[in-house]
Amino acid sequence: MAADFAKWRKPAGKAAKGSLTLDLVGDRPVTIPNFSVEGEGILAVGGAGFTPDGKGIGKVNLKKAQVDRSSLGNVVIDFSGGATTVTIGDGVMDVQPWMDEKDAPVDPATLDAAELKPQQPFSVAGHLAKVRISDGQTLTNVGFDLRHDPIWWDKIAFNGTLPGGALLQFDYGPDKPGIHKLKVA
């Protein structure tokens, strides 16, 4: 079992368990009113709804989602409209696994190929009580709005409080057609 997007994999030989309730209309799945997954380093409790044709998941509601040092609440993931939209209501997020990954060496050709490969658009927005960057480095009271189109970041905005109490604001986004603006305060 793995959640690659969350940088988590269940260790081989370690127990995990899950359960769900599935509502059907005839033989077409409609909703999963509740599910849970629990194991070493992971806990997810919530529900989900299927697309109208019953062939895929349309929306996931997580009351609680814990992966290693991250613990999120009131998470809604919507897969409709050809994009993935994630809203996070509260919690603590450990971003160190992504920060460590950015330091891994990548040759320029591989980086160019990955950056220009179209992907499904996505956005992530919400509020977190704390964001852990690494040991001793945290932001508190963090609001964020991140949007990625099929190729590029269209918007990266967040604000929070540094350990000494100073406010940090980072805003990268459209200013005029074809032009993005960066503001850091």
Percent residues over pLDDT 90 in the chain: 62
Residue that the structure tokens 């509260």 belong to: 90
Backbone angles phi, psi at 109, to 5 degrees: -65, -40
70: exposed, middle or buried (C-beta count within 10 Å: 0-12, 13-18, 19+)?
buried
Q: What pLDDT score was predicted for residue 62?
A: 96
Least confident of 7-21, 93-107, 134-148: 93-107
pLDDT digit string, tens, across residues 60-112: 999 999 988 999 999 999 998 889 999 999 999 998 877 776 656 677 787 67
Q: Taking 80 as the threshold, does the pLDDT of residue 7 lie above it? A: no
Single pTM value for the model:
0.85
Q: What pLDDT score was predicted for residue 77?
A: 95
Interval 158-163 mean pLDDT: 94
135: exposed, middle or buried (C-beta count within 10 Å: 0-12, 13-18, 19+)?
exposed
Please report which confidence band the pLDDT of residue 14 belongs to, taking 50, 70 and 90 as the band edges: confident
